[in-house]
Amino acid sequence: MKKSSFVAMMLGTVSMMFFALGMCMALLPEWNAFGTGVILAA
């Protein structure tokens, strides 16, 4: 595996984790973090 494809895979994984956390923050009313979740997911 080339170094550039490994870096792209790692960046993609980290960005998807931030997206998932932002969606959880936006969609779970118990967390009361809709605005922050939208910003983090975007």
Q: Where are the domains of the chain?
A: 3-41
Is the distance from CB of 23 to CB of 8 less than 8 angstroms? no
Note whether 24 and 31 are within 8 A (CB).
yes
Please give the chain's pLDDT, 42 residues, in tens.
788 899 999 999 999 999 999 999 999 888 888 988 888 888
pLDDT at 24: 92
Token pair in block for residue 5: 């494809």
Res 14: pLDDT: 96
pLDDT of residue 5: 92
Burial class of residue 40 in the structure, from the number of CB atoms within 10 Å of its CB (0-12 exposed, 13-18 middle, 19+ buried): middle
- pLDDT of 40: 84
